[in-house]
Amino acid sequence: MGTYISRKVLSLIPLTLAISFLIYLGMELMPGDAVSFLLPPDALASLSPEQLEQMREALGLNAPFLVRYFRWLGGILRGDFGYSLQSGVPVSEILMNHLPATLELSIASLLMSSVLGIVLGMISALRKGTLLDHTLDVVGMIGVAIPQFLLGLILVLLLCLNTNVFPVGGRMAYANQPLLERLNYLFLPALVNGFSMTAGVMRYARSSMLDSMGRDYMKTARAKGLPEWRVNFLHGLRAAITPVVVLIGFRLPMLIGGAVVIETVFQWPGVGELFIKAIRAQNTPVVMMIAFFSVLIVLMSSILVDIVTAWLDPRIKLS
């Protein structure tokens, strides 16, 4: 296991470098530069080309593309994430102010969608062909089809503006309070962010559970006289949950990516909203660090999925 993890971690290095280079190249190909967004149009028109060149020189924007990329990469290796081109604040400080909100939202969405998806999928499989099964199937199709922003706006209208059951949005004013006291602010964003994933997990868990229910080991367990709940939970669910875990593991990056929309709808101050603003302003240091951490999360998720599936299914051997 240790050898496998070490080899996988080492293989992430060239992948991370290649993806970071492509992201940096994409930023380079965008029209304009950061100076165009830092100044209002009237001030930009009043400056001479020499003054604009001095500003680019001060921001390090006039160096060749490869030189700027390797400067950024060298700073990462030294633990220097750079400074925001707009505010001059260290990027590490900006991320520390926004990353906890996104992680809180993503983890809550992942837990909610995983538990609900597996439980509802198992119930649907055990009640195959009944009204409950058909109802859950319809809910699953709606969850996969409905856009997140539309569902968020509907829930804000119904549960926030009309009934005041939940607050409309926000988080930072309550960031220093315990999590349990802030659940009313977290519940709706996490529900909307994880709803489509809940539907996908539920449908996948149902299919996997139905497949495992027809296996010989399930028939053998029943022939031994084991209670039905024990057969379903300890034998059927353990075999059925392995492919579902793979799905959940690879959906984690999608939850973080989907947080961009959710954070905008619910005014959630995470890295998603920060990422959109940084792209519009061509704030390269901020964009690169958010993209860099997103790439790491995706790649590390693949390793975590392999380890968890091997732990759940003894037939899987990591070599």
Q: Are 58 and 41 in contact (CB under 8 A)?
A: no
pLDDT of 281: 77
Question: CA-CA distance, 195 to 287, in Å (whole number)?
Answer: 28
Calculate the average pLDDT of the chain: 78
Q: Are 73 and 49 in contact (CB under 8 A)?
A: no
Question: CA-CA distance, 144 to 153, in Å (whole number)?
Answer: 17
pTM of the model: 0.74
Query: Can you read off the two tokens belonging to residue 249?
Result: 């593991």
pLDDT of 177: 64
pLDDT of 220: 77
Question: CA-CA distance, 36 to 39, in Å (whole number)?
Answer: 6
pLDDT confidence band for 302 (50 / 70 / 90): confident
Least confident of 89-98, 120-129, 213-222, 278-287: 213-222
Helix (H/G/I), strand (E/B), else coil: 48: coil
Q: Which residues pair with 90 in a beta bridge?
A: 83
Work out the number of other CB atoms within 10 angstroms of the CB of residue 121: 29
Indicate whether 84 pLDDT > 80: yes
Indicate whether 318 pLDDT > 60: no
Exposed/middle/buried for residue 84 (C-beta within 10 Å: 0-12, 13-18, 19+): buried
Average pLDDT of the segment spanning 100-115: 84
Tens of pLDDT, residue by residue over 169-218, are 777 555 566 666 677 888 888 888 888 788 888 888 888 888 777 777 77
Indicate whether 30 pLDDT > 70: yes
pLDDT of 314: 60
Query: Can you read off the two tokens belonging to residue 56?
Result: 């680019």
Question: CA-CA distance, 310 to 302, in Å (whole number)?
Answer: 13
Query: Of 229, 245, 250, which Cα lies nearest the Cα of 316?
Result: 245
pLDDT of 109: 86
Indicate whether 128 pLDDT > 60: yes
pLDDT of 173: 53
